[in-house]
């Protein structure tokens, strides 16, 4: 008898966090090339790493810190994803044709970013197919996550979207049910596609319902199971 394979719910998470395995796919020569053509910069909390519309000159490897990758237009912001350390950013600009950055990146905490010359990165992609295959996988993982968030933000209402983000923060960023939120309520809004006031109201509602414990920036998820149900049913 065939087993019915039920697709799991559409993932809604907005964080991307992979290991540094791409570097190990390079030959010694190639590693050297990267080392010689990259610099490591330290950004303070709140600084902008790169700006949408600028010519893409580097691929960014976040060695340490927490950043947001977002679109801004006419005071409407949409956070595409949050990224923690050990993550390649700016890959979307690799395309030769349109080499403008499609998003802005800003830090939430002091962050260390290795800036790799984009031409060198392209060269390596063109010459090392193991490497480029790995990058394809990275891109696909990111895309899958974006799809999930796309679904979440367009098909769920406030409760579901907020539950999604809270679970995501706990599971993927802080790896703990208790955490100190580095994002403002307004950022939470940009992440969930809701107004700042709605974020505040909704979070209060979650608190009153015993789903979370909260005092300003410090948050604890109490009833994970119920949060997951809220996430699932939108």
Partner DNA sequence: GGAAAAAACTGACTTTATACAGTTATTTTT
Partner DNA sequence: AAAAATAACTGTATAAAGTCAGTTTTTTCC
Going by C-alpha positions, the residue among 73, 149, 140, 72 that lies closest to residue 105 is: 72
Candidate list 122, 172, 201, 207; residue touching a copy of itself; CB under 8 A? 122
Picked from DNA, a copy of itself, none, the partner binding residue 35 (CB below 5 to 8 A depending on kind) is none
The DSSP bridge partners found for residue 106 are: 48, 68
Q: Using alpha carbons, list the distances in angstroms from residue 136 to 50, 129, 139, 166.
A: 23, 10, 5, 29
Candidate list 194, 211, 221, 230; residue touching DNA; CB under 7 A? 194
Q: How far apart are CA 126 and CA 179, in angstroms?
A: 42
Phi, psi angles (nearest 5°) of residue 103: -155, 165
Residue number, 101 or 153, with CB nearest to DNA: 153
Q: Which residue has the tokens 């330290």?
A: 42
- CB 155, min distance to a copy of itself, A: 4
Residue 3 CB burial class (10 angstroms; 0-12, 13-18, ≥19): exposed
Stretch that binds DNA, among 33-41, 109-117, 190-198, 220-228 (CB under 7 A): 190-198
**Count of chain residues binding a copy of itself (CB under 8 A):** 55
Residues 51, 140, 116: CA angle, nearest 5 degrees: 40
Candidate list 133, 137, 184, 233; residue touching DNA; CB under 7 A? 184
Going by C-alpha positions, the residue among 77, 85, 84, 64 that lies closest to residue 103 is: 77
- CB 46, min distance to a copy of itself, A: 21
Footprint of DNA on this chain (CB under 7 A)?
157-159, 184-186, 193-198, 200-201, 203-204, 214-217
Footprint of a copy of itself on this chain (CB under 8 A)?
5-10, 52-54, 71, 73-74, 76, 78, 80, 91-98, 100, 102-103, 122, 125-130, 132-133, 135-137, 139-144, 146-147, 149-151, 153-155, 193, 233-234
């Amino acid at each position: 008898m065939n087993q019915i394979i039920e697709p799991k719910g559409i993932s809604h998470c907005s964080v991307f966090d992979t290991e540094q395995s791409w570097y190990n796919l390079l030959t010694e020569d190639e590693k050297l090339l990267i080392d010689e053509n990259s610099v490591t910069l330290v950004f303070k909390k709140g600084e902008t790493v790169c700006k949408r519309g600028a010519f893409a000159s580097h691929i960014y490897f976040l060695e340490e810190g927490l950043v947001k990758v977002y679109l801004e237009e006419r005071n409407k912001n949409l956070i595409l994803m949050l990224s923690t350390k050990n993550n390649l950013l700016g890959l979307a600009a690799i395309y030769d044709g349109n080499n403008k950055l499609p998003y802005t990146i800003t830090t939430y905490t002091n962050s260390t970013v290795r800036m790799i010359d984009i031409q060198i990165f392209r060269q390596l992609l063109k010459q090392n197919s193991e490497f480029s295959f790995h990058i394809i996988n990275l891109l696909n993982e990111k895309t899958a996550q974006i799809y999930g968030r796309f679904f979440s933000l367009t098909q769920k209402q406030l409760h579901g979207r907020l539950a999604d983000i809270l679970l995501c923060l706990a599971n993927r960023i802080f790896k703990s049910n208790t955490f100190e939120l580095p994002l403002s309520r307004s950022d939470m809004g940009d992440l969930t596609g809701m107004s700042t006031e709605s974020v505040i109201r909704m979070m209060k509602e979650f608190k009153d319902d015993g789903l979370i414990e909260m005092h300003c920036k410090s948050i604890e998820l109490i009833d994970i199971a119920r949060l997951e149900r809220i996430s699932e049913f939108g």
